[in-house]
Structure 1
């Protein structure tokens, strides 16, 4: 934030809304993909075997 204030005179960085939305979309997609992958692995393994591991 100090760099942004020194460069533009504002606290917010000088980037468009699309940049912020892009970061949010990518982060959400990665989180969803990781969660679904972990859930798929957990569901495929029998419960008794998962507990003993």
Structure 2
């Protein structure tokens, strides 16, 4: 199905939220770089310009 899963521990999510967000943003940026068709569809309107 083409799904990818990013996993974070409960401790990371609760106590290192900024690092989790950085990792998510990095993953999104890498994904968009390798899948330019996603960028063209404006799929990520909520992210605030990256």
Please tell me the TM-score bracket, short chain as reference. Answer: 0.3 to 0.5
Which one has more relative contact order, counting CA pairs under 8 Å at least 6 apart?
2
The answer to which structure has the higher helix fraction is 1
TM-score normalised by L of structure 2: 0.43
